Amino acid sequence: MEGISKKIYLVLEEPTEEDSRSSQMRILDGLKEQGLDAKMTVKVMRKLYPLCDEAQWKITVSLAWNGDCWTVVNLEKGDTSAEHYGIAVDLGSTTVVARLMDCAAGKCICEESCYNHQIAYGTDILTRIFHCKDNEKELEAMRKATVDSITECLNALEKKAGIAPESCISMVVSGNTTMIHFLLGMDAFCVFYTPYAVRADRPGFCRGKDLGFPVSGYVYCYPSKSNYLGGDIISGMVATEIYKKDEVSVFFDIGTNGELVIGNKEFLLCGAGAAGPALEGGVVRTGMRATEGAVDEVKLENGRFRIHVLGETEAKGICGSGIIDLLAELFLEGWVDIRGRLMPEKSPLIQEKEGSLAVEYAPGLYFFQKDIDEFIRTKAAAHTMVEIMLQESGLGMEEIGKFYVAGAFGKHVSKESAIAIGMYPDMERERIVNAGNSSLEGAEKLLLDKKVLDDIDKILDNMVYIQFGAVDGFLNMMIAAQALPHTDFQRFPSVMKELEKRNKEGKGVISGT
Amino acid sequence: MEGISKKIYLVLEEPTEEDSRSSQMRILDGLKEQGLDAKMTVKVMRKLYPLCDEAQWKITVSLAWNGDCWTVVNLEKGDTSAEHYGIAVDLGSTTVVARLMDCAAGKCICEESCYNHQIAYGTDILTRIFHCKDNEKELEAMRKATVDSITECLNALEKKAGIAPESCISMVVSGNTTMIHFLLGMDAFCVFYTPYAVRADRPGFCRGKDLGFPVSGYVYCYPSKSNYLGGDIISGMVATEIYKKDEVSVFFDIGTNGELVIGNKEFLLCGAGAAGPALEGGVVRTGMRATEGAVDEVKLENGRFRIHVLGETEAKGICGSGIIDLLAELFLEGWVDIRGRLMPEKSPLIQEKEGSLAVEYAPGLYFFQKDIDEFIRTKAAAHTMVEIMLQESGLGMEEIGKFYVAGAFGKHVSKESAIAIGMYPDMERERIVNAGNSSLEGAEKLLLDKKVLDDIDKILDNMVYIQFGAVDGFLNMMIAAQALPHTDFQRFPSVMKELEKRNKEGKGVISGT
């Protein structure tokens, strides 16, 4: 497999008066013998002497693909072809994750992550966008914060693995449209403002130096399809390979925004919508990120909550996966009805609190009726997105091969809970696949396989964007989905079974509304 | 004719929700409609907003060819396609000349020159090479001096024409192998030291920024064929187009070194040799550069010297063209014999001076016997180069269509004088063509015509380098040429006629040896 960088060990003839080719041509001819047409940077030209002589013409050249041709970007003495490194980055709006890749072995050496430094300018993307809108100085600060975030990861990787970013050839960055705009230093107001025509969506290969990174070669930024369908989704396609398959798959990336793709090797229907920050614990009173002290798992057993707290410490709040568990348990145990209304008669843990009902899911921590309502709207939006996409593609859920859930959601959320509340469709559990950090996986994959570049073109060509709001019946579908698990129970047979199993009152809840 | 840069005025549709392509793709699509596949730099991506909106999508894009593809390197509001500039540079070891080109009109706007700042490290190239050999710091100083020299010209051009180098897209530099090594920051000892394998001879297109120039696009450095056959000669080929012609031409560039090419569209035989600094007045006691106070023209009339002094001032010394005139007149008037020996009986101006004979060519200025001897060796080397090349190509002088003389030599030296001393062959005068600054002309030509790049490849392929020293009979030819005009008078019939015409003693000189 040919990646977007190479290290090639060359044993060349020393120059003689009979063969007095230049050092440059000697190397480029050596590469040509291996079928590689390449150019050479000025930096490398400066390095030719005395390196080649000192190495007695046994040298290793680093090559980087720039989208059009191979470029010699570094020279080393002797055979260092095994020391071939690259970097894959998932530039998330909250978290930035970078992997140091051993490109010779095709393996990840280690991974590091950090909070996106942009957070200093606002926790949500819109605040950040407004912060630097039409303000060159603040835009530059935002760009720098973005570069600094990745650099923090690179430094951590260097500390951990002892491999400096200068030793890496290529870097692949995948992020949503706003993140890439900020990385390149472009105003991102366009992403959220009509007519939603962004600045640049095909940055391609940029020199490391031009973006502020010390890699010797190029930084490839995944292109975006549209304002809401960013490089992270394209990268997710590459990771899951749904664009290569015969069977139709669903790709679901849900965070502050939800992005959805349904398709196979022939078509890719895409949509995106504001899922609301509820999923990240944003509007929930005691909601918090999945850090130390967050309740991330919830069970109701014999009328009592059994919770898991991250960091095995005292509970401080609840994160996304905890919320979904909590809501599922409340519903399955009949503590809320299908509209999500808390039923105080079911447990003394459900009490009047600050003028509304709330359930005490951990000592002194309450989940309010308002929190539940907000969350149900969010999960209804998510469900409706899937429903619309299926309707548009003329397919039924039974025709879906795999249901990929990307990101932290896919990793941490319990499938059973997500199905119980009607957020995921009720399908065979093994068909629901945690796609992990597919944005990062896609970045990694491209780093190791240059052919992916052609795939990306194909993906962009095949993608058709569906405006959810423009679809007939959108609002009705949305309203119908605002029940647990859905107004149409038939869609969730396994949830019905679980309800029956858990308690007879389960049925009561359903029939009671 | 398509140059290596372009300015294209685009009138684009403003984005709508129906057509929400990115600014980047809107521009690249606009170019594609004109048959141009292009990429875009990060710098331009940053400039897209608010420029495009402010210009209501009526914009002019600057495109630069980088050897592989077109790159959008600048954006301007409105139609600025007529303001399309580029720079052609002749990077000489003594003088740097730059032309500001109007690429839209295909014309030179103005020209500026300056001394090469490298002179601070030595007047001759070898001193400069030794100065920074294996010394990174001094090499960087040499590189900077080179860049500063060109920059001085660019600043002068800006002052004269009011057009900043930042407004120029592409730059073409032509110079000998050492000059290009220094421009790129490479140790040039290799140029003069066995096995004469240089560092890099195909630098191609480098970003302006990488070399230290503010042009928005790329700087192309003419490639060299070998250590002694530099980019200035390749550029000279492009200027004279001898590689395109049916008839065989001679291209002769003589300075400290002499370079010679004989050929046509089918073959190009090349040679180079140390012509000696005599030609530039280097070893002559009162020799000087062609600056104010230099005797540049000499006539002998009625036993007296009639001289022309540059700057119409008092004579301080004598420059190359003056020396050749002087030697020709001395010979034609019979003041020296065919071996160049001064004949004190011919004129009281020939006197014993500091233990040797010398002729007083201007009040208080003497040309010594040693100066003459040195010069005759130089002209013999030049003649022998031509003779060998003809012998190698199996051609006689009568088969030569044009005899191009490049550089200051071609411009300032009297054809008659150069023939009289046997430096040029005795051929029809109109076939001897002053090629002017063909190095600069070739740079200019490439700037305006991208097809020249293919020609350069062809030239490099066709060039065959002849080692003069390795040719049979080299020494004998060299010795035979050390006479005025040559041991074999028959080769110089017009000189013989002139001798006869000038005075009967002329014959005496010849028969007397």
End-to-end CA distance of chain B: 59
Q: Whose CA is closest to B209, among B217, B220, B201?
A: B217
Query: A196 — contact with chain B (CB < 8 Å)?
Result: yes
* pLDDT-wise least confident of A141-155, A478-492, B131-145: A478-492
Nearest CA in chain B to A196: B20
Of A219-233, A265-279, A284-298, B370-384, which gets the smallest average pLDDT? Answer: A265-279
CA distance B342 to B351: 9
Query: Which chain B residues have a beta carbon less than 8 Å from that of A231?
Result: none
**Cα-Cα-Cα-Cα dihedral sign, residues B312, B314, B316, B318:** positive
The pLDDT assigned to A287 comes to 86
Tell me which chain A residues have a C-beta less than 8 angstroms from the C-beta of B198: 22-23
3 state DSSP class of B434: strand
Q: From residue B166, how far is each of B6, B76, B100 by CA, in Å? A: 15, 13, 12
The angle formed by the CA atoms of residues A166, A167 and A170, to the nearest 5 degrees, is 85
Mean pLDDT of A445-451: 98
Q: Do A46 and B186 touch (CB under 8 A)?
A: yes
Query: What are the φ/ψ torsions at residue A489 (nearest 5 degrees)?
Result: -55, -35
Higher per-residue pLDDT: A291 or B202: B202
Q: How far is A401 from chain B (nearest CA, A)?
A: 32
Span A3-56, pLDDT tens digits: 999 999 999 999 999 999 999 999 999 999 999 999 999 999 999 999 999 999
Q: Does B137 touch chain A (CB under 8 A)?
A: no
Minimal-distance CA residue of chain A relative to B191: A22
Q: What is residue B21's three-state secondary structure?
A: coil
Which among A268, A157, A257 has a CA at the least distance from the CA of A213?
Answer: A157
Q: B246 and chain A: CB distance < 8 Å anywhere? A: no
Nearest CA in chain A to B21: A197
Q: Which residue from B123, B119, B120, B122 is spatially nearest to B282, judged by alpha carbons?
A: B123
Tokens at A20, concatenated:
């007095």
- Exposure pattern of A231-241 as b/e (b: 16+ CB <10 Å)? bbbbbbbbbbe
Q: What is the structure's pLDDT at B467? A: 78
**Chain A residues touching residue B187 (CB < 8 angstroms):** 49-50
pLDDT, tens digit, 9 for 90 and up, residues B255-299:
767 899 999 999 999 988 765 545 554 567 888 888 899 999 999
Angle among Cα A258, A263, A265 to the nearest 5 degrees reads 140
Query: Is residue A462 within 8 Å of residue A454, measured between CB atoms?
Result: no
Per-residue confidence at A419, pLDDT binned at 50, 70, 90? very high
The model carries a pTM of 0.92
CA distance A332 to B22: 47
- Order of strands, sheet of A356-362, starting from the edge strand that comes earlier in the sequence: A350-353, A356-362, A365-368
- Interface contact B196, partner A, CB < 8 A: yes
According to DSSP, the residues that pair with A220 across neighbouring strands are A172, A205
B194 contacts A17? CB cut-off 8 A: yes
Q: Write the secondary structure of B238-275 as one string of H (helix), E (strand) and C (coil).
A: HHHCHHHCCCEEEEEEECCEEEEEEECCCCEEEEEEEC
Q: What would the two tokens of residue B323 be?
A: 């020396």
List the single best residue of A199, A224, A463 to mutate versus B (max B Cβ within 10 A).
A199
**pLDDT score, position A507:** 42
pLDDT: which is higher, B133 or B469:
B133
Integer angstrom CA distances of residue A27 from A36, A390, B463: 11, 55, 21
Tell if the CB–CB gap between B202 and A15 is shorter than 8 Å: no
SS3 B134: coil
- Closest CB from B21, B39, B46 relative to A184: B46
Task: Answer whether A28's CB lies under 8 Å from A22's CB.
Answer: no
What does the block give as tokens for A115? 């909070």
**Does residue A382 or residue B76 have the better pLDDT?**
B76
Cβ neighbourhood burial of A36 (10 Å; 0-12, 13-18, 19+)? middle
Q: What is the percent of chain A with per-residue pLDDT over 70, rounded to a whole number?
A: 96
Q: Which of A39, A49, A203 shows the shortest C-beta gap to B199? A: A49
From the CA of B8, how many Å to the nearest CA of chain A?
A: 20
How near does any CA of chain B get to the CA of A239, in Å? 25
> What pLDDT, on a 0 to 100 scale, did the predictor assign at position A324?
93
The answer to whether B410 and B435 have CB atoms below 8 angstroms apart is: yes
Q: Does residue B466 register a pLDDT over 90?
A: no
* Closest CB to B20 among A46, A134, A197: A197
Residue B437 DSSP label: S
Contacts of B40 in chain A (CB under 8 A): 200
Q: Tell if the CB–CB gap between A23 and B206 is shorter than 8 Å.
A: no
Interface test with B, best of A14, A18, A21, A24 (most B CBs within 10 A): A24
Cβ distance B23 to A68 less than 8 Å, yes or no, reads no
A196 vs B20: CB contact, 8 Å cut-off?
yes
The answer to whether B108 faces chain A, any CB pair under 8 Å, is no
List phi, psi (to 5°) of A200. -135, 130
A32 touches chain B (CB under 8 A): no
Q: Looking at B41-176, which runs of residues are DSSP E strands?
A: 58-65, 70-77, 85-91, 95-102, 107-115, 168-175
Give the separation between CA B229 and CA B223, rounded to whole angstroms: 9
The three-point CA angle B165-B167-B171 to 5° equals 55
Burial (CB count within 10 angstroms: exposed 0-12, middle 13-18, buried 19+), residue B1:
exposed
Interchain CB contact of A23 with B (< 8 Å): yes
Rounded Cα–Cα distance for residues A204 and A160 (Å)? 29
Burial of B158 (0-12, 13-18, 19+ CB in 10 A): middle
> How many Cβ atoms from other residues are within 10 Å of residue B180's Cβ?
28
* A193 contacts in chain B (CB < 8 Å): none
Interface test with B, best of A12, A17, A20 (most B CBs within 10 A): A20
Q: Chain B contact for A225, CB < 8 A?
A: no
How far CA B17 is from CA of A193, A195, A227, B14, B20, in Å, comes to 10, 4, 11, 10, 5
Query: Would you say residue A344 has pLDDT above 90?
Result: yes
Contacting residues for A342 by C-beta, under 8 A, at least 6 apart: A330, A335, A336, A350, A357, A358, A359, A369, A372
If you write DSSP's letter for every residue of A247-312 in order, what string do you get? Answer: SEEEEEEESSEEEEEEE-SS-EEEEEEE--GGGGTSSSTTB--SSTTEEEEEEEETTEEEEEEGGG
Smallest Cβ distance to B42: which of A22, A190, A206?
A206
Q: How sure is the predictor about B507, in pLDDT bands with cuts at 50, 70 and 90?
A: very low
Tokens of A351: 């009490």
Q: Which of residues 48-77 of B touch A (CB under 8 A)?
A: 48-50, 67-69
Q: How far apart are CA B405 and CA B397, in angstroms?
A: 15
- End-to-end Cα spacing for chain A: 59
Q: If contacts are CB pairs under 8 Å, which of residues 280-299 in chain B contact chain A?
A: none
- B70's tokens: 């077109």
Beta bridge partners of B219: B171, B206
Question: What pLDDT was estimated at residue A282?
Answer: 53
> With 0-12 CB in 10 A as exposed, 13-18 as middle and 19+ as buried, what is A442?
buried
SS3 A2: coil
Q: How far apart, in Å, are the Cα atoms of A496 and each of A324, A326, A343, A421, B14?
A: 18, 18, 19, 11, 53
pLDDT given for residue B513 in this prediction: 35
- Examine the pLDDT at A482 and tell me if it is beyond 60: yes
For B:293-352, CB contacts with A below 8 A are: none
Distance from CA of B478 to the nearest CA of A (A): 24
For residue A23, give the nearest of B40, B67, B199 by CB distance. Answer: B199
Lookup result for tokens 């850090």: A291
pLDDT confidence tier of residue B503, bands split at 50, 70 and 90: low
**Distance separating alpha carbons of residues B99 and B111, to the nearest angstrom:** 4
The pLDDT assigned to B512 comes to 36
Q: Is the pLDDT of residue A471 over 90?
A: no
Best probe of the A interface among B22, B28, B207, by most A CBs < 10 A, is B22
A:B CB pairs within 8 Å: 123
B203 touches chain A (CB under 8 A): yes
Nearest residue of B to residue A40, measured between CA atoms:
B203
Residue with tokens 């500091």: B354
Chain A CB contacts of B42 under 8 Å are 184-185, 203, 206, 210-211
Which amino acid belongs to residue B79?
D
Among A247-256, A446-455, B471-480, the range with the most confident prediction by mean pLDDT is: A446-455
Distance, in angstroms, between A226 CA and closest chain B CA?
A: 8
State the pLDDT at residue A283.
67
Which two structure tokens, joined as six digits, stand for B377? 């060796």
pLDDT class of B506 with cuts at 50, 70, 90: very low
Q: By C-alpha distance, which of A273, A271, A223, A278 is closest to A250? A: A271
Q: Name which residue leads in pLDDT, A136 or B409.
A: A136
For residue A295, count CB atoms less than 10 angstroms from its CB and return exposed for 0-12, middle for 13-18, buried for 19 or more: buried
Tell me whether B135 touches chain A (CB under 8 Å): no
CB atoms within 10 A of CB B194: 10
Residue B458 predicted with pLDDT over 90:
yes
**CB-CB: which of A40, A197, A210 is closest to B22?**
A197
Residues A232 and A177: their CA atoms lie apart, in Å, by 8
